[in-house]
Chain A
Amino acid sequence: MKPRAIGKRRPYVRPMAGWWRKNPYFVEYMIHEGSAFFVAAYALVLLVGLLRLSQGEAAWNGWLFALHSPLSIAGHLLLLAAMLYHAWTWFNIMPITLPPIFVAGKRLSASAITAGGVAATVLASVILLLVVWRLTS
């Protein structure tokens, strides 16, 4: 948009550089956006594993051995923290991103939507762990 120049009008457009540092809300936004790097990193770890698996036993065991290194375990602890933070922030913004949900004629509150998301993650995690446990024991 170009403001029309009339007389002494000289509208001043403020720069946006560093905008996200100026408000704690935006700092948190940038941090939770940054969780994407950790999600990508974990996907790449799995992708390498999938490739190794398709290349035979020796290749797979090499990948598995690497997962046992202290560095890998420390890295996965960091990934776990980032993944949990991603999950929390994902559900925290869900009241804004989801269309209104009505239960028994009443609109679900923001805190109920977030709590529902967290509960879904707990449930999915338990099911996933049980499935893996059943498949491998």
Chain B
Amino acid sequence: MVLPARRQNRKESRPAMSEIEKTIPIEVLRYRPEQDTEPVLQTFQVPFTDDMSVLQGLQYIKDYLDGSLSFRWSCRMAICGSCGMMVNGIPSLSCKTFLSDYYPAGLRIEALAHFPIERDLVIVMDDFIEKLESIKPYIIPKTPRALSEGEYLQTPAERDVYEQFSSCINCMLCYAACPQYGLNSKFVGPGIMALLHRYNMDSRDGGAEQRMELVHSEDGVFNCTAVGYCSEVCPKHVDPGNAVNINKTESAKDYFLRFVMPKGSNSGAAK
């Protein structure tokens, strides 16, 4: 869960001390369940160069100042979605946020908002994972298809319909940006809706009807009040808020037309 610092690699990327002139104060919200009753802020003075990300600042703290600091990270290049945290109150990927932008005032780093804190900057993501599983985030064939029938064909136009929503990296920044999720964690939330929509809109998929039950439900899309901040913070321009709101329209259509339309004809967004 929390990757050990890899000192070998660090030696290569860490600038020689003589090059470093500037230090920046980084305030980190610490929470060590065995000793803290509630989270507390701790400030570290971190030497930095202009090319250092916030994540690299945290790695410096872990390697040289306090090895007990816990945080998640993996790819360092904004594709794994592991290092989301609040930087000065804004949900951010710490690997693509730079220390120099906060110099000299410094910055405050907290665990992603709206999730329980496991330890320091590590959140409990069980709820997100369970929701992710529940929407069947994979293509459900319309009819069983034999291998001998070959691959599915999809035109570029058919792909364009869902491509944007397939860029989600499950970083959960949108959940940290969504007050409705913070107020009621039963709400399906933005990122999961983006993925649900991605599969519903796929010309190869036939699973929309199964997925729409959650969309229509009391935990579904109508908990959204169109704050829009989810789409604002998304590092991959997925626009999860749009996925939620497109499905409000779809859900409302189904709500009123289900008695006049044959079942299944209006489940999921129009393809």
In the complex the two chains form, is B116's CB within 8 Å of A13's CB? yes
Check if A26 is an interface residue, CB within 8 A of chain B. yes
Bound Cα distance A3, B128 (Å): 12
Given the contacts A1-B126, A11-B124, A12-B39, A96 and B182 also touching, CB distance less than 8 Å: no
Question: How close is B264's CB to chain A, nearest CB, in angstroms?
Answer: 20
In the complex the two chains form, is B117's CB within 8 Å of A3's CB? no
In the complex the two chains form, is A93's CB within 8 Å of B249's CB? no
The residues of B that contact A93 with a CB separation of less than 8 Å are: 226, 228
In the complex the two chains form, is B113's CB within 8 Å of A96's CB? no
User: Of A4, A8, A12, A22, which is within 8 A of B89 by CB?
Assistant: A22
Within B241-271, the residues touching A (CB, 8 Å) are 241-242, 245-246, 248-249, 269
Given the contacts A8-B33, A11-B124, A96 and B117 also touching, CB distance less than 8 Å: no
User: Of A3, A25, A33, which is within 8 A of B232 by CB?
Assistant: A25
Check if B34 is an interface residue, CB within 8 A of chain A. yes
Question: How close is A1's CB to chain B, nearest CB, in angstroms?
Answer: 4
Given the contacts A19-B182, A96-B241, A97-B245, A12 and B227 also touching, CB distance less than 8 Å: no
Of the A-B pairs whose beta carbons lie under 8 Å apart in the complex, a sample of 24, sorted by A's number, is A1-B127, A1-B130, A1-B185, A3-B126, A4-B126, A9-B118, A13-B116, A16-B182, A19-B179, A19-B182, A20-B179, A23-B90, A23-B229, A25-B227, A26-B227, A29-B228, A33-B225, A96-B226, A96-B242, A97-B245, A99-B246, A99-B249, A99-B269, A100-B242
In the complex the two chains form, is B33's CB within 8 Å of A10's CB? yes
The residues of A that contact B239 with a CB separation of less than 8 Å are: 96
Q: Mark A78-101, 1 if CB is under 8 A from B, else 0.
A: 000000000000000101111110
In the complex the two chains form, is B245's CB within 8 Å of A96's CB? yes
The residues of B that contact A23 with a CB separation of less than 8 Å are: 89-90, 229
Check if B183 is an interface residue, CB within 8 A of chain A. yes
Check if A14 is an interface residue, CB within 8 A of chain B. yes
Within A35-88, the residues touching B (CB, 8 Å) are none
In the complex the two chains form, is A96's CB within 8 Å of B228's CB? yes
A20: nearest chain-B partner, CB-CB = B179
Per DSSP, chain A at the interface is loop
Q: Which residue numbers of B lie inside 8 Å of A, CB to CB? A: 31, 33-34, 38-39, 89-90, 113-114, 116-118, 124, 126-127, 130, 179, 182-183, 185, 225-229, 231-232, 239, 241-242, 245-246, 248-249, 269
A25: nearest chain-B partner, CB-CB = B229
Given the contacts A3-B124, A9-B33, A19-B179, A14 and B226 also touching, CB distance less than 8 Å: no
User: Of B90, B118, B245, B269, which is within 8 A of A11 by CB?
Assistant: B118
Question: How close is A22's CB to chain B, nearest CB, in angstroms?
Answer: 6
Bound Cα distance A4, B129 (Å): 14
Bound Cα distance A93, B226 (Å): 7
Given contacts A12-B33, A12-B116, A29-B228, 13 further A-B contacts (CB under 8 A): A1-B127, A3-B124, A11-B116, A11-B117, A14-B113, A16-B179, A25-B227, A93-B226, A96-B239, A96-B242, A97-B245, A99-B249, A99-B269
A29: nearest chain-B partner, CB-CB = B227
Q: Which 7 A-B pairs have CB atoms at the shortest separation, nearest pair first?
A: A11-B116, A10-B33, A1-B127, A96-B241, A12-B117, A97-B245, A99-B246
Bound Cα distance A11, B127 (Å): 13
User: Of A3, A10, A14, A98, which is within 8 A of B245 by CB?
Assistant: A98
